[in-house]
Amino acid sequence: MANYLLIDFGSTFTKLCAIDTEAEDIIETASYFTTVDTDIRAGYHEALNRLFMKIGSPIEFEQVIACSSAAGGLKMAAIGLVEELTVEAAKRVCLGAGAKVDLVFSHHINKSEIQQIIDRKIDIILLAGGADGGNSECVLFNANLLGEMGIHIPIIYAGNKSAQDEIRDTFEQYGMDGYICDNVMPKVNVMNIDPARDMIRQIFLDKIIEAKGIKAIESEIDAVILPTPNAVLEAAKLLSEGYLDESGLGDIVVLDIGGATTDMYSICSVSRRSDVIVSGLEEPFAKRTVEGDLGMRYSAPGIIKSLSQQEIEFINKEKNVDIEEEVQKRYNDVKSLPQNAHDEFIDQFLAEVCAYRAMHRHVGRIEEVYTPMGKVYNQTGKDLTDIKYVIGTGGVIINSNDKENILRRTTNILHNPTELRPQDPLFLVDQKYILAAMGLLKQKNPYLALRIMKKYIVEI
């Protein structure tokens, strides 16, 4: 019998999932607070104790692997040239690698922007700009200024290939921790995600987890191998695409509402229709967006900021609450869990707003254009209308008494004809909170990870 232990060091909780590879089943799951501020091992030990208590006795594991979003996750700055092109491309690469994109800059950067990179304690910078053979002046200027300002955090250059040699010289000249890789946008509107994403992942494992005190755990486990959101994206891709004779679910959307962010993943092609003209930067098949201002605790104030004064008053009157006070309460005590029906009601409402807003920002748009040749449709972003499944994960959804109503907020409830939201999907829930763990297991045994997901990610 071979047992695997899969660990997710989250920002708040360390979650353990023990797998029996022969029975193709989950043995048990357990969790405890993440203790990265003191010693990450303490929280892990406590979680492990709880796991063994649930099982009844300690068991041996053949493999112990982990993903991590502890200690603020992976914070990145994305720098490009034009906002709609290389800036957007750089941002998408960071998100696809499982990072939080805290800063986004375009064109020539300035000293105060670099100061923000220092102040916000950015972990990795992704510097892009220029299609291959195109503009190189801007990236050279930006690399030089970063050097002059004494930036020593890892910088990945993924811009115009024609500037690579000079960029390398600049990195050497200032003794910077620079890395060179293929352009994120080699041609206008064409994306090249994988090389830069893999490099981000590598630097995360080689340097960032050490700097954050996560590496200490590697004295006890085999390895930390992925940033958590990257593991979730990997799991979602597997669940969608299938593996060998085990079929996948087809086109899916995954919604993960957490304390600090709301993450949305869509696994599907940009459009299935033949009567639309798709414009703009190429969309990734597996796309992740992260809303850093939408979350249940740390980012709860962002929910209020996304509402107008009129909407706030309407909500207060309609629901008979003081929503601003409720949000402040959650922000002040980020570890609080609902104690009564009222708390649950508020959390449910906040989650519904997060779901609606996050999809509003993730989903593509369509507009009718009247031309002398008749009506044509112009689409930007991804068409999610034919999505088969919307899958919910994260504490607030899993513990909700009305999961469906949170997930339903991703569909076109307001009948907005321009938003290409899922039309009539089935709603599933990651009831045992195993998506990240299955992303990890995919690296070892994709077939097994898929079978377990299909068993435990269930219809509401």
Footprint of other proteins (CB under 8 A): 81-82, 84-86, 107, 129-131, 133-137, 185, 187-189, 277, 279, 369-373, 376, 378
Q: Which residues neighbour 17 within 8 Å (Cβ) at sequence distance 6 or greater?
A: 5, 6, 7, 8, 26, 29, 432, 434, 437
Give the count of beta carbons closer than 10 Å to the beta carbon of residue 386: 16
The partner residues of 172 in beta bridges, in order of sequence, read none
Q: Euclidean distance between the first and final Cα of the chain, in Å?
A: 33
Q: Cβ closer to other proteins: 247 or 279?
A: 279
**Shortest reach from residue 173's CB to other proteins, in Å:** 24
Specify the 3-state DSSP secondary structure of 48.
helix
**Shortest reach from residue 169's CB to other proteins, in Å:** 20
**Shortest reach from residue 226's CB to other proteins, in Å:** 31
DSSP designation for 402: -
**Shortest reach from residue 368's CB to other proteins, in Å:** 10
Q: Cβ closer to other proteins: 133 or 150?
A: 133
Rounded to whole angstroms, the Cα distance separating 431 from 434 reads 8
Q: And the tokens for 261?
A: 């962010």
**Shortest reach from residue 282's CB to other proteins, in Å:** 13
Q: Cβ closer to other proteins: 186 or 195?
A: 186
**Shortest reach from residue 275's CB to other proteins, in Å:** 11
Q: Cβ closer to other proteins: 198 or 367?
A: 367
Q: Cβ closer to other proteins: 21 or 135?
A: 135
Closest CA to 72 of 108, 34, 109: 34
**Shortest reach from residue 457's CB to other proteins, in Å:** 39
Q: Cβ closer to other proteins: 85 or 224?
A: 85
Please report which helix (H) or strand (E) contains residue 286, including its range.
Answer: strand 286-291
Rounded to whole angstroms, the Cα distance separating 217 from 214 reads 6
Rounded to whole angstroms, the Cα distance separating 291 from 269 reads 22
Please report which helix (H) or strand (E) contains residue 249, including its range.
Answer: none
Q: Cβ closer to other proteins: 118 or 376?
A: 376
Q: Cβ closer to other proteins: 152 or 187?
A: 187
Q: Cβ closer to other proteins: 118 or 188?
A: 188
**Shortest reach from residue 214's CB to other proteins, in Å:** 37
Rounded to whole angstroms, the Cα distance separating 199 from 217 reads 22
Q: Cβ closer to other proteins: 131 or 199?
A: 131
The partner residues of 68 in beta bridges, in order of sequence, read 9, 227
**Shortest reach from residue 105's CB to other proteins, in Å:** 15
The partner residues of 276 in beta bridges, in order of sequence, read 377
Give the count of beta carbons closer than 10 Å to the beta carbon of residue 387: 25
Residue 374 backbone class (left: φ over 0; alpha: ψ -120 to 50; beta: rest): left
**Shortest reach from residue 337's CB to other proteins, in Å:** 47
> What string of DSSP letters covers 216-241?
GGGGTSSEEEEEHHHHHHHHHHHHHH
Q: Cβ closer to other proteins: 135 or 144?
A: 135
Amino acid at 52: F
**Shortest reach from residue 99's CB to other proteins, in Å:** 23
Burial 270-284 (b: 16+ CB within 10 A, else e): bbeeeebebebbbbb
* Residues 354/360/361/367 CA torsion (nearest 10 deg): 180
Rounded to whole angstroms, the Cα distance separating 106 from 164 reads 19
On whether the CB atoms of residues 163 and 130 are closer than 8 A, the answer is yes
Q: Cβ closer to other proteins: 81 or 384?
A: 81
**Shortest reach from residue 375's CB to other proteins, in Å:** 10
Please report which helix (H) or strand (E) contains residue 5, including its range.
Answer: strand 3-9
